[in-house]
Amino acid sequence: MQVEMPTGKGFDVFVGVPDYSVNYQYRQGTILHEVRETNLRELFGKYGDLLWMNGSHKYNVTNFIGELHDLLDFPSFSAFSDEMLDQLIGKLRKRGNSNATINRKMAALSKLLRKANKMGDVHSLPEFKRQKEKAGRIRFLDTDEENLLFSEIRAHSELYYRFCLFLVDTGARLSEGLNLRWGDIHKDRVTFWVTKSGRSRSVPLTQRALAAIEASDRRYSGPFAEIDQQRFRVAWHNAKDAVGFADDKDVVPHVLRHTCASRLVQGGI
């Protein structure tokens, strides 16, 4: 049976057909590659384990990607445009993110999207430009500040207090301390195998750093393995606010690494 389609001004043959975005991408060695809509959470679920090793950095990246997904006005896409990128950067600025923080989040986003583009999940990418970062002064704690802050942390948790002692006396990064295993400790030295530079390094232990380790529960895989990073950060910021450092943005856990380095320099090392 022949069906005649109505014609005339204002008639749309596709009225009532649901919207569905499909793009096609030419790839070398194939004719056409179909690119359906996806989103950042889906892409991270697909490639997150391939791109990032388990640890605190991956934990941070997971939060970054989740936040960026939620900030997009239209989270589903088949192409990621410059306008979408500008929208994210603008919203992060309104949230008070510094350029350094924005750069870290954009680095994670760029890595994920480049992988998705390579695998044919996204057919075009924006141009990522690094935001200019201010060269801020390096903050460290003097002895009185350390005692004040650590006393407040100790009132909340003896474990967190011992962890802070270990960090400030070894100069370890937060992730290095959390990932430390019992087999990495040898008498008066400790070896960090998973470092930011990708190289292992060994550092000597002070008496109080050694005591902080020995007081830990050996039922866990490492002396500080039972610590949840996010809960520790919350406790740190609560203690920081309580002792009068609320407006000092540089008093973050990483300040303990700076403090250790400063004391080594002052000691002529």
Within 8 A by CB and 6+ apart from 260, the residues are 167, 168, 169, 170, 171
Crossing angle (nearest 10°) for helices 56-71 and 82-94: 100
Rounded distance between C-alpha atoms, residue 185 and residue 198, angstroms? 19
pTM exceeding 0.95: no
Within 10 Å of residue 254's Cβ, how many Cβ atoms? Answer: 13
Within 8 A by CB and 6+ apart from 265, the residues are none
Q: Amino acid identity of 127?
A: E
Per-residue model confidence (pLDDT) at position 247: 83
Per-residue model confidence (pLDDT) at position 268: 62
Instruction: Determine the topology of domain 143-266 in CATH.
Output: hpI Integrase; Chain A (1.10.443)
124: nearest Cα among 86, 84, 81, 75: 81
Domain boundaries, the chain: 22-118, 143-266
Which strands form 185-186's sheet, in the order they lie side by side? 185-186, 189-192, 201-204
User: Which residues face 192 on adjacent strands?
Assistant: 201
Beta 22-25 vs 33-36: how paired, if at all?
A: antiparallel
Report the chain (269 residues): mean pLDDT per 10 consecutive residues: 48 44 49 74 96 81 94 94 95 89 90 95 92 74 91 95 97 93 93 74 94 95 96 95 86 93 76
